[in-house]
């Protein structure tokens, strides 16, 4: 993901890279373009979680669906 992470970096597919790129380059209202795949979105979320954990020193809490 970044040069600071070194060997702890994540391998990302082209779909994951494009998902992150799309979120960075477009307003969020337009980010859910049809070109985004489930795999790309999963990898995008994984990159965000890993970045917070590594650089921020904390883990994000998951959202649980209430019954």
Kindly report, residue by residue over 40-54, the tens digit of the pLDDT: 989 988 888 888 787
The span from the CA of 50 to the CA of 5, in Å, is 10
Residue spans of the domains in the chain: they are 12-56
pTM for this one? 0.66
| Alpha helices for 1-67 (secondary structure H) | 14-25, 28-31, 38-51
Please tell me what DSSP assigns to residue 66: -
Kindly report, residue by residue over 4-57, the tens digit of the pLDDT: 666 666 788 999 988 888 888 888 887 666 678 899 989 988 888 888 787 777
């Amino acid at each position: 993901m970044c040069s600071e992470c070194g060997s702890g970096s994540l391998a990302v597919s082209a779909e994951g890279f494009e998902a992150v790129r799309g979120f960075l380059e477009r307003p969020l209202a337009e980010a859910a373009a049809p070109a985004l795949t489930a795999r790309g979105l999963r990898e995008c979320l994984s990159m965000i979680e890993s970045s917070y954990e590594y650089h921020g020193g904390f883990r994000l809490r998951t959202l649980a669906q209430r019954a």
